[in-house]
């Protein structure tokens, strides 16, 4: 029986792949994953969440789309949630000035296939 060899990547390698590639990537504890593209329904739900949150939090918090990179340093995860809410000034990671580290809320649209 063969085993899959896990390759550990540095965060710098992840940033290089993001900069020079055309695929959105997620970094989790040294592993890099390509993020799947969404369906039209997925896109509609993400847009609706952004619109509703933006209207409800107008002037109090900032609501961003999946273009905002978020880093959760406690778990070594960097990803692009479908929507992110940040209340107060945005703080960025020391290792990545383009990654927000203080989200108040993350929204991820899931599909039936991810139920289990």
| Domain edges within the chain | 11-114
CATH 3.90.1570.10: does it fit domain 11-114?
yes
pLDDT digits (tens, 9 = 90+) for 45-97: 999 999 999 999 999 999 999 999 999 999 999 999 999 999 999 999 999 99
Tell me how crowded residue 78 is: count the other CB atoms within 10 A of its CB: 25
State if pTM tops 0.75. yes
Average confidence (pLDDT) over 93-108? 98
CA distances from 56 to 43, 86, 90 (A): 20, 13, 19
Flag the least confident range among 37-46, 59-68, 99-108.
37-46
CA distance 44 to 42: 5
CA distance 58 to 71: 24
């Amino acid at each position: 029986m063969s085993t899959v060899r896990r390759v550990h990547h540095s965060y710098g390698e992840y940033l290089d792949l993001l900069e020079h590639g055309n695929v959105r990537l997620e970094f989790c504890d040294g592993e890099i994953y390509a993020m799947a593209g969404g369906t039209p329904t997925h896109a509609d739900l993400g847009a609706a969440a952004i619109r509703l949150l933006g209207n409800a939090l107008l002037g109090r918090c900032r609501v961003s789309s999946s273009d905002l990179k978020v880093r959760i340093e406690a778990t070594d995860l960097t990803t692009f949630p479908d929507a992110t809410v940040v209340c107060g000034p945005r703080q960025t990671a020391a290792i990545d000035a383009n990654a927000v580290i203080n989200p108040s809320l993350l929204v991820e649209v899931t599909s039936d296939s991810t139920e289990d």
